């Protein structure tokens, strides 16, 4: 009788072990899915950072054009003053 009881307990323990293994597999799959989402989010973040850098470079470029145009405007104003003085004299 004791041997049969031990056998039944062994079978129960084996079933519990199988259940635990299934939970472990499920948890591992969730872990893999979370890692994939993390990778995807990192890629989106890198992509957004690259767009931000790209926009910053365009902004710097536009500022340089603005400075260039302002310098040309100053030159033109100086020529205008010079010509006005020369024409008056």
Number of domains observed in the structure of the chain:
1
Residues of the chain with pLDDT under 70: none
Strands (DSSP E) contained in the chain are none
Q: How far is the C-alpha of 82 from the C-alpha of 89, rounded, in Å?
A: 11
Q: Compute the CA torsion angle 9, 10, 12, 18 (nearest 10 deg).
A: 160
Q: Quick check: is 44 in a domain?
A: yes
Range of the domain at 30: 1-64
Please tell me the pTM assigned to this model. Answer: 0.60
Give residue 2's pLDDT: 86
Give residue 88's pLDDT: 80
Q: Quick check: is 69 in a domain?
A: no
Give residue 1's pLDDT: 74
Mean pLDDT of the chain: 96
Q: Quick check: is 79 in a domain?
A: no
Give residue 82's pLDDT: 95
Q: How far is the C-alpha of 85 from the C-alpha of 88, rounded, in Å?
A: 5
Closest alpha carbon to 29 in 40, 17, 21: 21
Q: Quick check: is 21 in a domain?
A: yes
């Amino acid at each position: 009788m004791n041997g049969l009881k031990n056998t039944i307990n062994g079978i129960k323990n084996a079933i519990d072990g199988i259940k635990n293994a299934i939970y472990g597999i499920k948890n591992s799959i969730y872990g893999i899915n979370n890692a994939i989402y993390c990778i995807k989010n990192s890629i989106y973040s890198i992509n957004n950072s690259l767009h931000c850098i790209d926009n910053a470079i365009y902004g710097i470029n536009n500022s340089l054009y603005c400075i260039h145009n302002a310098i040309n405007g100053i030159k033109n104003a100086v020529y205008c003053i010079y010509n006005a003085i020369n024409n008056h004299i």
